């Protein structure tokens, strides 16, 4: 039998990436390709980038066949219409990515979901939440996002946007910005660097912050503590609201300090009021930066995880 | 055919209540009976109250048959073990209510769920969220609780406790209490009365607060505004995280002021960052105080809403 592969696409705030992924969730060697995105990218630019990455990823297809295309995108998305409206890619608002990809690869199933949804699928499939029924997967990077699985099924919500944990408010806004007081507004890599700089630290990036923290810089340590504590508070809230079993957490800024995970765990425990929410198991992502691509492939390779009545209804309206 | 009725039981912080409910969600006339509970109630007392209410409700059974018993309880609960651990009924922690009711009515299916879960079921069945796929139902009363429906199914979580919106933190705790900064700690009827009294108001109850507000008392108006604003912030958070279509809200304290609903709506809209979460439809409960009993009956009359794979797994472990 021919090797059956999914083409996985991940559209993010800083890059677009494609790869071929096999039925075990492994990325096929030398098929992963990326190009930059960024705030100024237009639908035309994204289309060109998708075509180039697609050609590069499929160049090594050989005797294998592509059985479908899974697309994970930065949110919000519009699941029924197959469009994306990413918060940090304003010129792409309304881009009909599902139709675009369908033109590129006709006669194959195409599934679009939030990148956080893909991540939660990947962690459930072969990562840190494998074997659990109710979980959340979280990325702490330039921004903060996530996806949710409940009672054995991925959660979509009305328009495919369930999982946007970065935009929940943890505090009253106190700085006049639209995301002041939100988890992302407090805890993202970008905001943590801002905060440290405002408190006298002189580095530039999240990685710098990790190095300063490792060297004992008090402001850098405080900035990382502040971020991880906020993530823990958000987890306590979600674990209380949804009665979760497990949380997987990863992302570039999560990885800047080996202390990050324990600060998250302590904060989540301190802010949980009930035993059931205090018991949630919080672990590092099992997939590093491969999660969104693997999860996009899971949309194709593990359709039973996404094809519940709601999504079937949506599929018929395409 | 004999009339097929569910026996519905609602175990709450101030009362336990039973009724017979038909397949259309109507409470059969003169079958609704209640006795007080309260912080000091023991398992023995609750057992006696259940027996008395059960006898009173079934006295008018006539030619009808009871096809099952649905129990909604204040949380937390332990779904797999059939036990309850209600926050405000400490002496009942560990009470095996499912086994107790099974002894009372052998050979009938018994379903136990969180009272908030029952409320969400009732609103979906015949109330304010009918026809929607993803919703939350909220009660603002002495405490604050709720239940969640996503992608057409009721959400349970690992131990049956999904829906505890009252215990999510909206602010940092600033008063040294365990629930400081939580939605319930800010917005419940009890806490709103406390807050108003600390600001010079001299009434005693939530109803008093409603009357003072209607008479133009500035402190009473502010207390109600403070509660409704916090509920709106919590709804914005949940609508963002879960991409909800609709929210139903009810409860004794919600009903103290006709202004409450609009304050909630404005606050939810002001705190929503994305269009999809700003669009959530927020309406008054369609069921008044009958919701928990009707929802407990829905556990029996509409089993397809609760019997997804997770709950089937649980059922086999009884």
Per-residue model confidence (pLDDT) at position B308: 55
A 135-164 near B (Cβ less than 8 A) = 148, 150-153, 155-164
Whether the predicted pLDDT of A104 surpasses 60: yes
Per-residue model confidence (pLDDT) at position B179: 77
Question: For the domain bounded by A4-115, which CATH number is listed?
Answer: 3.30.420.40
Per-residue model confidence (pLDDT) at position A308: 56
SS3 content of chain B, % helix, strand, coil (to 5): 40, 20, 35
Interface probe, candidates B85, B117, B134, B150, chain A, greatest A C-beta count within 10 A: B150
List CB contacts (< 8 A) between A276 and chain B.
76, 157-159, 161
CA distances A201 to A197, A217, A278, B175, B212, Å, are 5, 9, 34, 33, 52
| A157-184 mean pLDDT | 87
A236 interfacial to chain B (CB closer than 8 Å): yes
List the one residue out of A116, A152, A153 whose CA is nearest residue A137: A116
pLDDT in tens, B115-130: 999 999 999 999 999 9
- Tell me the two tokens of residue A17: 């990436």
Per-residue model confidence (pLDDT) at position A151: 87
Interface probe, candidates A153, A168, A230, A280, chain B, greatest B C-beta count within 10 A: A168
- Angle of CA points A26, A76, A103, to nearest 5°: 60
Whether the predicted pLDDT of A176 surpasses 90: no
Per-residue model confidence (pLDDT) at position B103: 95
Per-residue model confidence (pLDDT) at position A247: 98
Interface probe, candidates A74, A166, A230, A276, chain B, greatest B C-beta count within 10 A: A276
pLDDT in tens, A51-97: 999 999 999 888 899 999 999 999 999 999 999 999 999 999 999 99
Per-residue model confidence (pLDDT) at position B176: 62
Whether the predicted pLDDT of A273 surpasses 70: yes
List CB contacts (< 8 A) between B114 and chain A.
none
Whether the predicted pLDDT of B314 surpasses 50: no
Cβ contacts from A onto B, under 8 A: 149
pLDDT in tens, B191-204: 999 999 999 999 99
Annotated domain spans of chain B: 4-114+292-315, 128-286
- B266 in Cβ contact with B228 (< 8 Å): no
Whether the predicted pLDDT of A311 surpasses 90: no
| B210-233 mean pLDDT | 97
B 64-83 near A (Cβ less than 8 A) = 75-76
Q: Do A151 and B155 touch (CB under 8 A)?
A: yes
| A206-217 mean pLDDT | 97
List CB contacts (< 8 A) between A152 and chain B.
308-310
Whether the predicted pLDDT of B173 surpasses 90: no
**Partner residues linked to B66 by β-bridges:** B5
Nearest chain B residue to A156, by CA: B151
What percent of chain A stands above pLDDT 90?
87
- A170 in Cβ contact with A234 (< 8 Å): yes
| Mode of pairing for the β-strands spanning A144-150 and A153-154 | antiparallel
Q: Do B134 and A157 touch (CB under 8 A)?
A: yes
**Partner residues linked to B136 by β-bridges:** B148, B247
Q: Specify burial of residue A269 (Cβ count, 10 A radius: 0-12, 13-18, 19+).
A: middle
Q: In CATH, which of 3.40.190.10, 3.40.640.10, 3.30.420.40, 2.30.110.10 is domain B4-114+292-315? A: 3.30.420.40
Whether the predicted pLDDT of B317 surpasses 70: no
Distance CA(A41)–CA(B64), nearest Å, equals 67
B116 interfacial to chain A (CB closer than 8 Å): no
| B225-243 mean pLDDT | 97
| A217-231 mean pLDDT | 98
| Equal fold, A4-115 vs A128-286 | yes
Q: Do A161 and B134 touch (CB under 8 A)?
A: no
Name the pLDDT band for B234 (thresholds 50, 70, 90): very high
| B90-104 mean pLDDT | 97
Average pLDDT along chain B: 92
Per-residue model confidence (pLDDT) at position A68: 97
- Tell me the two tokens of residue A264: 């998250």
Whether the predicted pLDDT of B311 surpasses 80: no
pLDDT in tens, A178-191: 678 999 999 999 99
Per-residue model confidence (pLDDT) at position A312: 37
B29 interfacial to chain A (CB closer than 8 Å): no
Q: How close B152 gets to chain A, by Cα (Å)?
A: 7
pLDDT in tens, B30-63: 999 999 999 999 999 999 999 999 999 999 888 8
Looking from the CA of A221 toward its CB, the CA atoms found within 13 Å total 6
Name the pLDDT band for A171 (thresholds 50, 70, 90): confident
Q: Do A168 and B240 touch (CB under 8 A)?
A: yes
Distance CA(B32)–CA(A148), nearest Å, equals 39
Whether the predicted pLDDT of A2 surpasses 90: no
Least confident of A45-49, A284-288, B27-31, B63-67: A284-288
- B270 in Cβ contact with B306 (< 8 Å): no
- Does 3.30.420.40 match the CATH number of domain B128-286? yes
- B144 in Cβ contact with A241 (< 8 Å): no
Interface probe, candidates B77, B158, B185, B281, chain A, greatest A C-beta count within 10 A: B158
What percent of chain B stands above pLDDT 90?
87
Distance CA(B145)–CA(B168), nearest Å, equals 10
**Partner residues linked to A249 by β-bridges:** A138, A284
Nearest chain B residue to A240, by CA: B164
Of B152, B159, B179, the CB nearest to A276: B159
């Amino acid at each position: 039998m021919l090797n059956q592969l999914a083409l996985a696409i991940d559209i993010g705030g800083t890059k677009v990436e494609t790869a071929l992924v096999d039925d075990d969730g492994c990325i096929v060697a030398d098929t992963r390709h990326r190009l930059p995105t960024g705030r100024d990218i237009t639908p035309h630019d994204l289309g060109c980038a998708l075509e180039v990455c697609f050609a590069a990823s499929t160049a090594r297809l050989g005797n294998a066949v592509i059985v479908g295309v899974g697309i994970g995108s930065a949110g919000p998305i519009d699941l029924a219409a197959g469009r994306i409206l990413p918060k940090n890619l304003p010129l792409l608002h309304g881009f009909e990515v599902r139709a675009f990809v369908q033109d590129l690869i006709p006669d194959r199933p195409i599934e679009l979901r939030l990148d956080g949804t893909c991540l939660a699928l990947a962690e459930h499939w072969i990562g840190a939440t494998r074997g659990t029924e109710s979980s959340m997967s979280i990325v702490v990077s330039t921004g903060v996002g996530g996806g949710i699985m409940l009672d054995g099924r991925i959660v979509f919500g009305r328009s495919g946007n369930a999982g946007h944990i970065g935009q929940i408010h943890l505090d009253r806004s106190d700085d006049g910005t639209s995301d002041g007081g939100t988890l992302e507004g407090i805890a993202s890599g970008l905001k943590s660097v801002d905060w440290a700089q405002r408190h006298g630290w002189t580095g530039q990036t999240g990685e710098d912050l990790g190095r300063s923290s490792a060297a004992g810089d008090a402001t850098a340590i405080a900035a990382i503590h502040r971020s991880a504590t906020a993530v823990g508070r958000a987890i306590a809230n979600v674990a209380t609201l949804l009665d979760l079993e497990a949380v997987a957490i990863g992302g570039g800024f999560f990885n800047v300090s080996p202390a990050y995970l324990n600060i998250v765990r302590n904060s989540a425990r301190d802010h949980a009021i009930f035993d059931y929410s205090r018991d949630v198991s919080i672990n590092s992502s099992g997939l590093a930066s491969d999660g969104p691509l693997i999860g996009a492939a899971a949309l194709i390779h593990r359709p039973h995880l996404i094809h519940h009545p709601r999504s079937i209804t949506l599929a018929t309206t395409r």
